[in-house]
Amino acid sequence: MRRLLALALNSVRLEFSTVGAYIQFLVLPLVFTVVIGLGMRSDGDARFRVAVVDRDHDALAANLLDRLRASEVVRPEVMDEAAALDLLKNQDVSAVVTVPGNFTARLRAGTTSDLELQLQSSSVSGAAIREAVRSATAQTIRATIAARISVDEAERQRPFADAAERQRYLEAATTAVASVPAEISVRRAARSPAATVTGFALSSPGQLVTWVLSTLLVGGMSIVAERRMGTLRRLLTMPARRSTILAGKFLGRFLLGALQMLIMIVFGVTVLGVTWGNSPVALAMVATCFGLAATSLGLFIATIARTEQQASGYAALGTFVLAPLGGAWFPMEITSPTFQHVTQALPTTWAMRGFTDVIVRGVGPEGVLVDCGVLVAFAVAFFVLGVRRFEFQ
């Protein structure tokens, strides 16, 4: 174990042998995160734009709209149905919420009134919008339940003069809070929304994936250089197994990537104000699994490249193909469903999905199990291929 750690720490130390390494490792990732985040900022309101078609125009529909406006997830805009559907078709809104004409009457009568929610196809924004609408609807329904309880209690104490007085009392009591489930019928539209995660919430994880991937893939170039100079062959004279030497090299690159991820996450939280989720465990799970997958890919590159130039080219190609196609440079939701399905074959897609779920949806460890499982599968596959092909000389 001591030899393993010594080899790993030596690899990290060698990485920072020049000033240029510090710029590549630390300065450029932070600068690009800020610049790209500023370029991707929305109009100041990062909430999902949602069109609301109000067919009810009564008190509880207005109450529902007020609760939607107070949401941290959706930004509702009331408009007619034709305009709403046109915006949905053109991907200018993320969803259309239709309030039925009998919404208020049915709730006051004690029956559930369904909303129609039309969503663009999006694994992240769709779930967030659905929950925001469900929450606002449930709050409005709770108010009507509490109001009816209040009316019944008031009537027991002093009967109302007539039905009109009872109705006025009911309307005045609808701000109370109680508990009842809400029902929403969901129908998906054909394409994805034009804008979902923007600004620093996208550039922070996106640039993390890009630059950490670059750092870990370039590890293949350093291994090729050590093989050419005979350093790896000389390591065989040490009282250590080949597996220990290889594991030390692997661990060194992984620790380098982990350090870079930690720096970029702390920078995003403290300087850019990015909320990296509510679960440090879930965040650590995604970061660790992504680091393992990228480090294993770097090891595999070292086995197929014969020169440093080849390894550098493979690393650059891998970074500038895998990162953007995986959604690190733009919101995946703006792409077609076909593109989203095809890019699931890339590890960066699952890394960005995991990071975005943690940031946007605030999921816990159970919410990123699939993302982490796929990343671990990539890590195992690349590692096995790399170990089988690895040569010390």
- CA–CA separation, 269 vs 276, rounded Å? 7
Nearest by Cα to 118 from 186, 16, 53: 186
**Which residues fall within 8 angstroms of residue 202, CB to CB, at 6 or more apart?**
37, 40, 330, 331
User: H helices then E strands: how many in the chain?
Assistant: 17, 5
What per-residue confidence (pLDDT) applies to 373?
96
User: Over the chain, what is the mean pLDDT?
Assistant: 79
* Domain CATH for 157: 3.40.1710.10
Q: In terms of domains, do 22 and 87 share one?
A: no
User: Does the pLDDT of residue 252 top 70, yes or no?
Assistant: yes
What per-residue confidence (pLDDT) applies to 173?
55
pTM greater than 0.85: no
| Mean pLDDT calculated for residue range 352-356 | 92
Residue-number span of the structural domain to which 280 is assigned = 2-41+197-389
Query: If pLDDT is split at 50, 70 and 90, which confidence band does 229 have?
Result: low
Q: Could you say which of 171, 188, 205 is where a domain stops?
A: 188
What per-residue confidence (pLDDT) applies to 354?
93
165 vs 263 pLDDT, higher one: 263
Q: In terms of domains, do 20 and 70 share one?
A: no
Interval 30-50: pLDDT, tens: 998 888 887 665 555 667 889
| Mean pLDDT calculated for residue range 75-94 | 89
Q: Could you say which of 188, 213, 237 is where a domain stops?
A: 188
Q: Could you say which of 164, 188, 212 is where a domain stops?
A: 188
User: Does the pLDDT of residue 183 top 90, yes or no?
Assistant: no
Helix axes 369-389, 347-356, angle to 10 degrees: 150
Query: If pLDDT is split at 50, 70 and 90, which confidence band does 125 have?
Result: low
Q: In terms of domains, do 202 and 141 share one?
A: no
What per-residue confidence (pLDDT) applies to 55?
93
115 vs 161 pLDDT, higher one: 115
Nearest by Cα to 119 from 53, 67, 192, 46: 192
| φ/ψ (deg, to 5) at 95 | -165, 165
391 vs 342 pLDDT, higher one: 342
